[in-house]
A and B are shown apart, each in its own frame.
Chain A
Amino acid sequence: MDISHLTQILLPAHNLRVIYLGVCSLGIAAGMLGCFLLFRKRSLLSDTVGHATLPGVAGGFLLSALLYPGEGKNIFILMLGALVFGWLSVQVVQWMMRHTRLRQDAALAVSLTGFYALGVVLLSVIQKSGLPDSSGLEYYLYGMVASMVQTEAWILCGTAVAATLLTTLLLKELNALCFDEGYAQTQGLPHRWLDETLMTLCLIVAIVGLQTVGLLLIMALFIIPPATARLWTNSLKKTLAISALVGALGSLIGALVSSEVEHMPAGAAIILATSLLFFLSLLIGRRKGLLSRHLEYYAIERRLAENQYLRAVFDGLEAQQQVRLFCGLKFSRKLAMTDFLIRDTLAKRNWTTTKQSAITRSLLKQGLLTLTGTESAALTDKGLNRAIETAKTHRLTEMYLLEHAEVAQKNVHQYVERIEEITTPEIANDLRDLFEERLQQELIPQEPHEVK
């Protein structure tokens, strides 16, 4: 790719700029409205609508050939046909659910396949008839970016503005409708009107975008961006924003690729680009992303290991102090901060040397330990505090299991090892409340079971 080619992509000619504006608008509108389809659990319904537009497009073509012979296909009649059949498919689904015992998934599948089959039959009729200008019809199936005219781009731009306006002005009403429709109804919010506006707007966007992305894949543009956004955030506003962004970005990349590579259907390129963004988010998304989950797991495991380490240190030092306590002397913080041999302390844990030194290093870095020799260390003030807290929570958990949950003595230890991972500060507080009286007598309770 030479420089002039690059500038061509970055500073496109007027007709290309129109196209990019159009696909971006489509992505924004679909991404934003798609969020509400996802929340209302209408993703599959919208897919049915997408496929069901085929007989509408084919029928519209036949109609325009009949009404205006020789003038080529009239886009508006085609769109009108798509709109009618899209609407019809929803009615069929609702009728089936009301009057038969079919569940929604079956009703959707029947409607989708039935209408699509009708469309395929009509298409074959058109192809046999040899009507002029019928070659462009496959664009409606697979999508075509290059054929976008200025009018279409402006319509798409208008729908994007309308979608943004609707969601901004009625965000709280839409929020109530999606989260808890019954409640929204009792509040006297205009739920029916809102629902219909939302669905109509979705249908309009889908039909205007039909020629760009194709009816087979148009609904993916409504479904994938919000699904991607959900991997990043737990806030409604951010979900909407990210979804719009993903829709726009995917559409733009797809349009670029399809205009660069010959015979590349635009719809497939756009949806593939959007899917790539989805899978990328699946890996690195902040919320439930595989990587972030792995990192979180790793952090928990590490903290658990640190706690086990500190507890081992504390147990060892406590054993040394037992005699003192027996003589009626108080637990001495100063003595608890004397040095210990790392290897001996961790002998009971079957840790590898790598793990031992890794955790030691981590504790040193956090200022919980200080090295006193090549193989010995001592707790710092901060370290001792955390060691005491850890030991206390651990023993309280054991006491709870023994006394309240009636877990057998010999099983307690193995339970607690796992439970420590999930003992949140809240649970620790509850435990402290539960054993409040006993904690007043002794600051740190003794191990309630025999240490092996």
Chain B
Amino acid sequence: MSSTALEVNHLTVCYEKKPAVWEADMSVPTGSMAGIVGPNGAGKSTFLKAVLGIIPNASGNISFFGQPYKKVKQRVAYVPQRESVDWDYPISAVEVVLMGLYKQVGLFRWVTKEHRKQAEEALDRVGMLPFASRQIGELSGGQQQRVFLARALVQQADLYMMDEPFAGIDATTEKVILGLMQDLKSEGATVLCVHHDLPTVADYFDHLTMLNLSVVASGKMNDVFTKEQLMKCYGGRLELLTKLTDSLAKLEGLKGSPTH
């Protein structure tokens, strides 16, 4: 297996000629728990979508496990932002999970009992089996997020790309998702996650990309998550930085070097 799960070179994405992501370079080593952070409107979701070909890019090279995306689509699982879909849609939790198997089922074919069993197992893994037949609109935000996660799990991918899985969810779900991400990592999979909550970044991930239009810094957590880089990425917004120094201190503490 290739040592880099994802490599992005010179990625530029435009919305009506205005760049939303500009000349972004980054790579994610296989087997890492990688986070993408950046201020609101920095283009984090756009970056993820462009990498997955959901929105067209103006220029750039993207490879997954050393190969073009088209060849390895099934090895990459995408967990979109929860707000991106209509939750009033007539579908049950287990049917959402089954979507992760559609490609495997094949065109013009119907889902079998075996597929349903796989979907139920995935639901069980995120603790949502009792809600399998619920309409998705009746689930809480955290439960919806777990269903999305189960849909990615059922695909048994090598790279999981998640868009803000921790946004607006309850404590139980946060624990479940984090536990699962760690399980996936120990199974050898790679996780790439857009994240919004800076205080937890250092706890959750071991690889970090700071994005603000372009990639400010990308690499191992300890190298990237520094005061200088944060200043650069967040443009020195002080009220935020005070919060951050706390969490930085925590990281310094973990590293074992003296805190200031």
Taking beta carbons and an 8 Å cutoff, which residues of A are in contact with B? 39, 41, 169-170, 172-173, 175-176, 178-180, 182-190, 230, 233-236, 238-239
Contacts and interface: CB of A to CB of B under 8 A. Distances in A.
B73 A179 contact: no
A179 B80 contact: no
Given A182-B54, A234-B90, A175 B99 contact: yes
The A contact surface, by secondary structure, is helix
A182 B103 contact: no
Contact of A180 (B90, B99, B107): B99
Instruction: Report which residue of A184, A187, A236 has the largest number of chain B beta carbons within 10 angstroms of its beta carbon.
Output: A187
B107 A186 contact: no
Contacts of A184: 99
Contacts of A234: 90, 92, 135
Closest 8 CB pairs of A and B: A234-B135, A186-B78, A182-B54, A188-B73, A180-B85, A236-B90, A234-B90, A187-B103
Nearest to A178: B89
Chain B interface: which size bin? 20 to 34
Contacts, number: 74
Contacts of A236: 90-91, 95
Contacts of B250: none
Given A170-B108, A182-B78, A188 B89 contact: no
B80 A182 contact: yes
Interface string B76-101: 10101000111001111001101110
A188 B73 CA distance: 7
Given A185-B54, A233-B90, A234-B90, A179 B76 contact: no
A390 to B, nearest CB: 24
Contacts of B80: 180, 182-183
Contacts of A188: 70, 73-74, 103
B84 A180 contact: yes
Contacts of A183: 78, 80, 99, 151
Given A170-B107, A180-B80, A185-B53, 18 more contacts: A41-B86, A172-B99, A172-B102, A173-B107, A175-B91, A179-B89, A179-B91, A179-B96, A182-B52, A183-B78, A183-B80, A186-B52, A186-B76, A188-B70, A188-B74, A233-B90, A235-B90, A236-B91
A182 B135 CA distance: 21
7 contacts: A172-B98, A179-B86, A180-B84, A180-B99, A186-B73, A236-B91, A238-B90
A46 B41 CA distance: 33
Given A230-B90, A236-B91, A179 B84 contact: no
Contacts of B86: 39, 41, 179
A170 B111 CA distance: 12
Contacts of A178: 89
B105 A172 contact: yes
Nearest to A238: B90
